[in-house]
Amino acid sequence: MKIITYNVNGIRAAIKKDFIEWLKSSNPDIVCIQETKAQPEQIPSLDFEEAGYKSYWYSAKRKGYSGVGILTRKEPDNVVFGMGIEKYDDEGRFLRADYGDISVISVYHPSGSSGELRQAFKMQWLDDFYNYISELKKERKKLIISGDYNICHKPIDIHDPIGNARNSGFLPEERQWLSKFIDSGFIDTFRYFNKNPHNYTWWSYRRKAREKNMGWRIDYNMVTKNLERNLNRAVILSQVYHSDHCPLLLDINFQ
């Protein structure tokens, strides 16, 4: 199974940049999408169906904001929309699809870059998300949690760790949370296969950051450790341009 996570920074904008044509040519089995910035009725689900994908969408109440989706060739056994926590579900940040004993989650962690209030919201989300996943693992033991975590884990994951040391997305408390999350029983699949620097999934639109590869690695395909032997490869698709993010591919056996 080829699973891709991709913050598209607006699904309608990505479609105008030939997202569906790219989808057909790359032929993943599952795509976890973040930041759809659209209501379900604004998304051309029939076009995805014609491309061979069932589509599921969970949008924010606020129009043009946040939102997650899952495109899948194989119909899931069950789909769960949201976490059952109103303040997060109102922002459309969590969508889960179950395939046998494996669950695939598309998640969009909040950004704290707009100010102190949103940073506090982000830190509360991180605590609540950790607790939610800890409980979910008791019921669904095999998890693939794909999405935009809005956190660089280590200095190797960001182009300027010193200059960004006090910026949201690379704060010590955020990085400590990510370490705790991984230590609770997850594998950062890209780092499992690739220990090299200068591998990023997001670049600012300013200062020709992408051209200069001044990026951040904030998108992840995390899997529970009980799926380690199923892993085949993980690759950042940095040459795909529909967004300020790029897709992240995980090749994994579903057996």
Q: Which residues pair with 99 in a beta bridge?
A: 102
Give the pLDDT confidence score for residue 103 in this predicted structure.
98
pLDDT digits (tens, 9 = 90+) for 30-64: 999 999 999 999 999 999 999 999 999 999 999 99
Q: Among this protein's residues, is 128 annotated catalytic?
A: no
Among 29, 89, 148, 183, which one carries the catalytic annotation?
148
Domain residues for the domain of 87 are 2-252
**How many other CB atoms are found less than 10 A from the CB of residue 76?**
18
pLDDT in tens, 89-123: 999 999 999 999 999 999 999 999 989 999 999 99
**Mean pLDDT throughout 5-20?**
98
Q: Does the structure show a pLDDT above 90 at 170?
A: yes
Contact present, 30 and 248 (Cβ < 8 Å): no
Band of pLDDT at residue 86, cut at 50, 70 and 90: very high
Look up the CATH number of the domain holding residue 237.
Answer: 3.60.10.10
Distance CA 83, CA 221 (A): 19
Q: Which neighbouring-strand residues pair with 219?
A: 148
Which among 67, 82, 73 has a CA at the least distance from the CA of 8?
Answer: 67
In the numeric block, which tokens belong to residue 205?
A: 């639109």
Report the SS3 class of residue 32: strand
pLDDT digits (tens, 9 = 90+) for 220-236: 999 999 999 999 999 99
Split into its structural domains, the chain has a count of 1
The candidate with the shortest Cα–Cα distance to 85, out of 55, 102, 107, 57, is: 107
Q: Three-state DSSP class for 84? A: coil
Residue with tokens 């997202």: 19
pLDDT value at residue 74: 97
